[in-house]
């Protein structure tokens, strides 16, 4: 099963955050790469707590960052 993780930039807080409709998680980090690693670390435990075998799951990261021009 594939789980979509939405990753967005919060300009006011200066952090990346990740949420998912299929995995109950909400995480944030200062860097994009650190957030991806944190989700990869936490997701298997969250899935297991919800009765899903993490070894058969894939994580698809969908990133979005909006910037204004000068």
Q: Nearest CA to 43 among 31, 52, 34?
A: 52
User: Residue 15, Cβ neighbours under 10 Å: how many?
Assistant: 15
Q: What's the pLDDT tens digit per position in 5-29?
A: 999 999 999 999 999 998 999 999 9
pLDDT, one tens digit per residue, over 33-51 is 999 999 999 998 999 898 8
Per-residue confidence (pLDDT) for residue 64, from 0 to 100? 86
Residue-level pLDDT at 53: 75
Structural domains in the chain, sorted by start: 2-64 (3.30.2390.10)
Closest listed residue to residue 39, CA positions, set 10, 62, 70: 62
DSSP label at residue 13? T
pLDDT at 70: 77
Lay out the sheet containing 26-29: strands in order across. Answer: 26-29, 15-19, 2-10, 58-64
What pLDDT shows up at residue 54? 65
pTM of the model: 0.84
């Amino acid at each position: 099963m594939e789980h979509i993780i939405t990753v967005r930039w919060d300009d006011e807080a200066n952090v990346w955050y990740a949420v998912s409709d299929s995995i109950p998680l909400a995480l944030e980090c200062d860097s994009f790469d650190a957030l991806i690693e944190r989700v990869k670390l936490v997701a298997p435990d969250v899935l297991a707590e919800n009765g899903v075998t993490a070894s058969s799951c894939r994580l698809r990261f969908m990133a979005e960052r909006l910037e204004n021009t000068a």
